[in-house]
Structure 1
Amino acid sequence: MVLKTIYIVRHGYRENWLPEDQQRDSPLGDNESDPLLAPHGVEQAHELADYISDKLEPKPELIFSSPFYRCIETIEPTAKKLGLKIYLDRGLGEWYRRSRSHIPEPATIDVLSQYFAALSDEWLPETVVPSLEGEEEDELLERCRLFWEKFIPKVESLYPQVTSVILVTHAALKIALGMSLMGYQNTREFLRVEHGGDGVSTRIQASTCSLDRYEKNTNGWVMTMNGNTEFLSAGPEMNWHFATAQFEAGSKEDIEARKKAAQVANARPCT
């Protein structure tokens, strides 16, 4: 059998987006680059798990996650409900620009297994390892293209009975993975009609814990669910896109820019 359905979800709301006096220390010692989920993000993770286990069809048969803590924490409730292991792949890891002063490297599976019992090393070696020098947008898209080139045949070879998988990743990756899977050459393009867009205004949505679905047909992979948050009690939050964001998703600069934009919006007189 061949892979027919791919789900991609962004991690939940991060702890380091809260006021400093509400933040806990990450067990991995890096609150900025590898934070926990905030309590709200944990709630989102459980809402996601309930939706996947109760309503989503077809159900994912394998789970793959970025090795960053917040992604594993996001999908752990789903793994428990479905009775599945979690496979890590650095190809799904966070995007960092080349201009960043420090490129974080995720913890190893040996370290992460101390905190997450469902992790499995059966997927090793990973498909792609991102450059520790950072990536420009075109390099990220190429990473994702190479990821699919290796990932799909590997799944179909190792797990020939599996037709549906779910990937847990980050905002920029959620977009770049989807665009490369559908054959786009730029992360900033609008989606064509056959992918659920109108060619002039629709892009992949990447709010926290939002869920995308891609299905394979005779013409390739098509998007049949874009940024679904119907299962989240608070709806879409912290949406991000290459075309509208000046900073890396979730970074301090991103959060500060969002705060300033909100202050400006709130200061505008009513008309």
Structure 2
Amino acid sequence: MTQTVWIARHGNRIDFVNPEWFNTAERRYDPHLSPDGRVQARQLADRLAGENITHIFASPFLRTVETADAVAEVLDLPLQLDWGLAEWLNPEWMSEMPETLSVEHLSAKFPRIDPTYTGGKAYYPETWPACLKRTGETAKRLVKAYPEDNLLFVGHGASVLGTAMGLIPTLRETDVHASLCCLVKLVKESGEWVMELNGDTSHLDETEEVVRFN
């Protein structure tokens, strides 16, 4: 039996486009997509149409929810939020546990969110190895829970790396490409996961020249 896991990073974020946004934001560590990031999310959605994805899981940060919701709309699927796919809770980036909108608030704004789903956990502060372990364990948990389904994970640069490495332990960090709104495609055949796409951005009109993680 063949199973496919797609892994996507969120689209461009407002603080990458306008760094001053951070200084006045209500939730400084939870930026929304920039205008071009919303375009990227729609292009990602169009790319995934017809790929027989049956479940979409996303980090609960606003930029990932917005990206995943664009895909869920095109694929006509519900959206499940999982803290196991969350951003690296790096104390050098964040002075405190990042505040995100509640599931209730998010599901009111994005009706495709399933508010009854409860996923993994993430804890602040977090080391880089702990982040890779958390996201890798999340990938293994979800493919085990849905062994006959094709899944989409929408996360961050760190969770693109971690989920791919969790399913293919021979991968190194430098083996996985994780630019904005990229796609990684992993296929399981005869019990082994293989990577068929690595950081693909062919669906995007505009791509970043230098990959940024913060």
- The TM-score with structure 1 as length reference comes to 0.71
CA RMSD of aligned residues (A): 2.4
The counterpart of 1:180, out of the listed 166, 169, 183, is 166
Partner residue of 1:102 out of 73, 96, 120:
96
Corresponding residue of 2:31: 35
CA drift at 1:144? 2.5
Aligned residue in 1 for 2:84: 91
**In structure 2, what is the Cα distance between the partners aligned to 1:180 and 1:105?**
27
Change (3 A) 1:39 1:109: same
Residue 5 of structure 1 pairs with residue 4 of structure 2: yes
Alpha-carbon distance in structure 2 between the residues aligned to 1:231 and 1:38:
18
What amino acid does structure 2 have at the position aligned with 1:119?
I
Unaligned runs of 5+ in 2: none
Which has the higher relative contact order, 1 or 2, with Cα contacts under 8 A spaced 6 or more apart?
2
Specify the code of the residue in structure 1 equivalent to 2:110.
Answer: F
TM-score, scaled relative to structure 2:
0.89
- Report the equivalent of 1:50: 46
Asked if 1:150 corresponds to 2:146, the answer is no
Looking at CA atoms only, which structure, 1 or 2, has the larger radius of gyration?
1
Whole-Å separation in 1 of the counterparts to 2:210 and 2:105: 29
Structure 1: gaps of 5 or more residues: 157-161, 191-202, 241-248, 251-271
Task: Name the SS for the 1:107 alignment partner.
Answer: coil
Q: Which residue of structure 1 lines up, in the alignment, with residue 75 of structure 2? A: 82
Are residue 117 (structure 1) and residue 111 (structure 2) matched?
yes
Q: Which moved more, 1:207-216 or 1:94-103?
A: 94-103
Whole-angstrom distance in 1 between the partners of 2:76 and 2:210: 30
Instruction: Please give the alpha-carbon distance, in whole angstroms, between the structure 1 residues aligned to 2:140 and 2:206.
Output: 36
Whether the aligned pair in 2 keeps the contact of 1:229 and 1:236 (CA below 8 Å) is no
